[in-house]
Amino acid sequence: MFYHDNKLQYPVRVDTPSPLFAKMLQQAIGGVEGEIRVCLQYLFQSFGARGPARYRDMLMDTGTEELGHIQMLATAVALNLEGSSAAVQEEAARANPMVAAILGGMEPRQYLSAGMAALAADANGVPFNGSHVYASGNIVADMYSNVAAEATGRALACRLFDMTDYPGMKDMLRYLIARDTMHQQQWLAVIEELGGHQANLPIPNSFDQSQELLDVSYDFFATGIDGTETPAGRWTSGPSLDGKGEYRVRRAVPFGDEPKLAPPSPSGYAQRQQMTADEADTSVTVMTTGDTQS
Amino acid sequence: MFYHDNKLQYPVRVDTPSPLFAKMLQQAIGGVEGEIRVCLQYLFQSFGARGPARYRDMLMDTGTEELGHIQMLATAVALNLEGSSAAVQEEAARANPMVAAILGGMEPRQYLSAGMAALAADANGVPFNGSHVYASGNIVADMYSNVAAEATGRALACRLFDMTDYPGMKDMLRYLIARDTMHQQQWLAVIEELGGHQANLPIPNSFDQSQELLDVSYDFFATGIDGTETPAGRWTSGPSLDGKGEYRVRRAVPFGDEPKLAPPSPSGYAQRQQMTADEADTSVTVMTTGDTQS
Amino acid sequence: MFYHDNKLQYPVRVDTPSPLFAKMLQQAIGGVEGEIRVCLQYLFQSFGARGPARYRDMLMDTGTEELGHIQMLATAVALNLEGSSAAVQEEAARANPMVAAILGGMEPRQYLSAGMAALAADANGVPFNGSHVYASGNIVADMYSNVAAEATGRALACRLFDMTDYPGMKDMLRYLIARDTMHQQQWLAVIEELGGHQANLPIPNSFDQSQELLDVSYDFFATGIDGTETPAGRWTSGPSLDGKGEYRVRRAVPFGDEPKLAPPSPSGYAQRQQMTADEADTSVTVMTTGDTQS
Amino acid sequence: MFYHDNKLQYPVRVDTPSPLFAKMLQQAIGGVEGEIRVCLQYLFQSFGARGPARYRDMLMDTGTEELGHIQMLATAVALNLEGSSAAVQEEAARANPMVAAILGGMEPRQYLSAGMAALAADANGVPFNGSHVYASGNIVADMYSNVAAEATGRALACRLFDMTDYPGMKDMLRYLIARDTMHQQQWLAVIEELGGHQANLPIPNSFDQSQELLDVSYDFFATGIDGTETPAGRWTSGPSLDGKGEYRVRRAVPFGDEPKLAPPSPSGYAQRQQMTADEADTSVTVMTTGDTQS
Amino acid sequence: MFYHDNKLQYPVRVDTPSPLFAKMLQQAIGGVEGEIRVCLQYLFQSFGARGPARYRDMLMDTGTEELGHIQMLATAVALNLEGSSAAVQEEAARANPMVAAILGGMEPRQYLSAGMAALAADANGVPFNGSHVYASGNIVADMYSNVAAEATGRALACRLFDMTDYPGMKDMLRYLIARDTMHQQQWLAVIEELGGHQANLPIPNSFDQSQELLDVSYDFFATGIDGTETPAGRWTSGPSLDGKGEYRVRRAVPFGDEPKLAPPSPSGYAQRQQMTADEADTSVTVMTTGDTQS
Amino acid sequence: MFYHDNKLQYPVRVDTPSPLFAKMLQQAIGGVEGEIRVCLQYLFQSFGARGPARYRDMLMDTGTEELGHIQMLATAVALNLEGSSAAVQEEAARANPMVAAILGGMEPRQYLSAGMAALAADANGVPFNGSHVYASGNIVADMYSNVAAEATGRALACRLFDMTDYPGMKDMLRYLIARDTMHQQQWLAVIEELGGHQANLPIPNSFDQSQELLDVSYDFFATGIDGTETPAGRWTSGPSLDGKGEYRVRRAVPFGDEPKLAPPSPSGYAQRQQMTADEADTSVTVMTTGDTQS
DSSP secondary structure, chain F, as one string: -EEE-SS-SS----SS--HHHHHHHHHHHHSTTSHHHHHHHHHHHHHT--S-HHHHHHHHHHHHHHHHHHHHHHHHHHHHT-TT-HHHHHT-SSS-HHHHHHHTT--HHHHHTTSSS--SB-TT-PBPBGGG----S-HHHHHHHHHHHHHHHHHHHHHHHHH---HHHHHHHHHHHHHHHHHHHHHHHHHHHTTHHHHHPSSSTTS-GGGS-GGGTTEEEE-BPTT---B--TTTSSB-TTSS-B-EEEE---SS----PPPPPGGG---GGGTSPPP---B-PPEEP-S---
Chain D CB within 8 Å of residue B90 CB = no
pLDDT higher than threshold 60 for residue A293: no
Per-residue DSSP letters for C206-217?
Answer: TS-GGGS-GGGT
- Residues of chain E neighbouring F293 (CB-CB closer than 8 A): 11
Contact C73, E47 (CB under 8 A): no
> Does the distance separating the beta carbons of F252 and E206 come in below 8 Å?
no
Element housing D106 (H / E): none
CA-wise closest residue to C56 among C137, C130, C131, C176: C137
Q: In this structure, what are the phi and psi dihedrals at residue F224, rounded to the nearest 5 degrees?
A: -65, 140
> Does the distance separating the beta carbons of A125 and E124 come in below 8 Å?
yes
pLDDT higher than threshold 60 for residue C89: no
> Does the distance separating the beta carbons of F294 and D215 come in below 8 Å?
yes
In this predicted complex, what is the ipTM? 0.92
Binding site membership of A for Ca(2+): which residues?
57, 61, 227
pLDDT band (50, 70, 90) for residue B85: very low
> Does the distance separating the beta carbons of C152 and B113 come in below 8 Å?
yes
pLDDT higher than threshold 80 for residue D293: no
**Mutation for A interface: C33, C289, C293, C294, most A CBs within 10 A:** C289
> Does the distance separating the beta carbons of B126 and D102 come in below 8 Å?
no
Chain A CB within 8 Å of residue E137 CB = no
pLDDT digits (tens, 9 = 90+) for E227-261: 898 889 999 999 999 999 999 999 999 999 999 99
> Does the distance separating the beta carbons of C231 and A292 come in below 8 Å?
no
pLDDT band (50, 70, 90) for residue C278: low
F244 to C174, D98, F232: CA distances (angstroms):
17, 54, 20
pLDDT digits (tens, 9 = 90+) for A125-166: 999 999 999 999 999 999 999 999 999 999 999 999 998 989
Chain A CB within 8 Å of residue D131 CB = yes
pLDDT higher than threshold 80 for residue D277: no
* Amino acid letter, D118: A
> Does the distance separating the beta carbons of C9 and F61 come in below 8 Å?
no
- Residues of chain D neighbouring A36 (CB-CB closer than 8 A): 40, 130
> Does the distance separating the beta carbons of C286 and A222 come in below 8 Å?
yes
Is E183 annotated in some ligand binding site?
yes
As a whole number of angstroms, the distance between CA A182 and CA F270 comes to 51
- Residues of chain B neighbouring C125 (CB-CB closer than 8 A): 124-125
Is F150 annotated in some ligand binding site?
yes
Q: What is the pLDDT of residue F97?
A: 45
- Residues of chain F neighbouring C218 (CB-CB closer than 8 A): 181-182, 185
As a whole number of angstroms, the distance between CA D234 and CA D218 comes to 12
In DSSP terms, B287 is beta-bridged to: E250
Element housing D4 (H / E): strand D2-4
Contact C60, C45 (CB under 8 A): no
As a whole number of angstroms, the distance between CA F223 and CA F138 comes to 31
- Residues of chain A neighbouring D115 (CB-CB closer than 8 A): 48, 50, 136-138
Chain D touching partners, 3 or more CB pairs below 8 A = A, B, C, E, F
| Region of residue C267 (phi > 0: left; psi between -120 and 50: alpha; otherwise: beta) | alpha
Chain D CB within 8 Å of residue B130 CB = no
Nearest CA in chain E to C73: E47
As a whole number of angstroms, the distance between CA F211 and CA D272 comes to 40
Is E61 annotated in some ligand binding site?
yes
- Dihedral angle sign, alpha carbons of residues A240, A245, A249, A251: negative
Which 8-state DSSP code applies to residue D289?
A: P
pLDDT digits (tens, 9 = 90+) for E165-191: 899 999 999 999 999 999 999 999 999
- Residues of chain C neighbouring B67 (CB-CB closer than 8 A): none
User: Of the candidates F148, F161, F216, which has its C-beta nearest C141's C-beta?
Assistant: F148
Chain D CB within 8 Å of residue C140 CB = yes
- A229 to chain E, closest Cα gap in Å: 38
Chain F CB within 8 Å of residue E186 CB = no
As a whole number of angstroms, the distance between CA A24 and CA A77 comes to 9
Chain C CB within 8 Å of residue E8 CB = yes
As a whole number of angstroms, the distance between CA E246 and CA A20 comes to 47
CA-wise closest residue to F159 among E100, E123, E113: E113
Q: What is the pLDDT of residue B182?
A: 98
pLDDT digits (tens, 9 = 90+) for C195-226: 999 999 999 999 999 999 999 999 999 999 98
User: Of the candidates A2, A132, A138, which has its C-beta nearest D3's C-beta?
Assistant: A2
Average pLDDT over residues D254-281: 86
> Does the distance separating the beta carbons of E163 and A5 come in below 8 Å?
no
Order of strands across the sheet that contains F287-288: D219-222, D248-251, F287-288
Per-residue DSSP letters for chain E?
Answer: -EEE-SS-SS----SS--HHHHHHHHHHHHSTTSHHHHHHHHHHHHHT--S-HHHHHHHHHHHHHHHHHHHHHHHHHHHHT-TT-HHHHHT-SSS-HHHHHHHTT--HHHHHTTSSS--SB-TT-PBPBGGG----S-HHHHHHHHHHHHHHHHHHHHHHHHH---HHHHHHHHHHHHHHHHHHHHHHHHHHHTTHHHHHPSSSTTS-GGGS-GGGTTEEEE-BPTT---B--TTTSSB-TTSS-B-EEEE---SS----PPPPPGGG---GGGTSPPP---B-PPEEP-----
Q: Are strands D2-4 and A2-4 parallel, antiparallel or unpaired?
A: antiparallel
Average pLDDT over residues A73-83: 92
| Region of residue C278 (phi > 0: left; psi between -120 and 50: alpha; otherwise: beta) | beta
Element housing B244 (H / E): none
Chain F CB within 8 Å of residue A279 CB = yes
Across all residues in chain C, what is the average pLDDT?
90
Average pLDDT over residues B238-251: 96
pLDDT band (50, 70, 90) for residue D208: very high
pLDDT higher than threshold 70 for residue C78: yes
Percent of chain D with pLDDT over 90: 79
pLDDT digits (tens, 9 = 90+) for E126-147: 999 999 999 999 999 999 999 9
Three-state SS for E137-165 is CCHHHHHHHHHHHHHHHHHHHHHHHHHCC
Average pLDDT over residues E266-287: 81
CA-wise closest residue to F140 among F85, F212, F192, F215: F192
Using only the alpha carbons of chain C, give its radius of gyration.
27
- Residues of chain C neighbouring B196 (CB-CB closer than 8 A): none
**Mutation for F interface: A37, A228, A271, A276, most F CBs within 10 A:** A271
pLDDT digits (tens, 9 = 90+) for E17-42: 888 899 999 999 999 999 999 999 99
Chain E touching partners, 3 or more CB pairs below 8 A = A, B, C, D, F
Q: What is the pLDDT of residue F284?
A: 81
As a whole number of angstroms, the distance between CA B75 and CA B70 comes to 8
As a whole number of angstroms, the distance between CA F207 and CA A140 comes to 52
Neighbours of D217 (CB within 10 A): 22
As a whole number of angstroms, the distance between CA A161 and CA B198 comes to 24
Q: Are strands C219-222 and C248-251 parallel, antiparallel or unpaired?
A: parallel
pLDDT digits (tens, 9 = 90+) for C138-148: 999 999 999 99
E76 to C30, D15, D258: CA distances (angstroms):
27, 59, 13
Percent of chain A with pLDDT over 90: 79
CA-wise closest residue to A180 among A152, A161, A159: A152
As a whole number of angstroms, the distance between CA F146 and CA F140 comes to 10
Note which residues in 208-267 of chain F have CB less than 8 A from chain A. none
Contact F162, F173 (CB under 8 A): no
Average pLDDT over residues B146-168: 96
Strand, coil or helix: what is B203? Answer: coil
Q: What is the pLDDT of residue C91?
A: 41
- B78 to chain C, closest Cα gap in Å: 17
Torsion of CA D260, D264, D265, D270, to 10 degrees: 160
As a whole number of angstroms, the distance between CA C59 and CA C62 comes to 5
Q: What is the pLDDT of residue B86?
A: 39
Binding site membership of D for Ca(2+): which residues?
57, 61, 227
Average pLDDT over residues C64-85: 90
**Range with the poorest average pLDDT among A77-86, A264-273, D100-109, E164-173:** D100-109
**Mutation for D interface: E42, E144, E274, most D CBs within 10 A:** E144
Neighbours of B9 (CB within 10 A): 25
For A14, half-sphere exposure in the C-beta direction (CA atoms, 13 angstrom radius) is 26
As a whole number of angstroms, the distance between CA E158 and CA D202 comes to 12
Chain E CB within 8 Å of residue C191 CB = no
Q: What is the pLDDT of residue F139?
A: 97
Binding site membership of D for Mn(2+): which residues?
35, 66, 69, 150, 183
The pLDDT profile of chain F, 294 residues, written as one tens digit per residue, is 999 999 999 999 999 888 889 999 999 999 999 999 999 999 999 999 999 999 999 999 999 999 999 999 999 999 999 864 333 344 444 445 445 455 557 889 999 999 999 999 999 999 999 999 999 999 999 999 999 999 999 999 999 999 898 999 999 999 999 999 999 999 999 999 999 999 999 999 999 999 999 999 999 999 999 889 888 999 999 999 999 999 999 999 999 999 999 999 898 999 999 987 555 567 787 877 654 443
Chain B touching partners, 3 or more CB pairs below 8 A = A, C, D, E, F
> Does the distance separating the beta carbons of C156 and B96 come in below 8 Å?
no
Chain C CB within 8 Å of residue E108 CB = no
> Does the distance separating the beta carbons of C251 and A288 come in below 8 Å?
yes
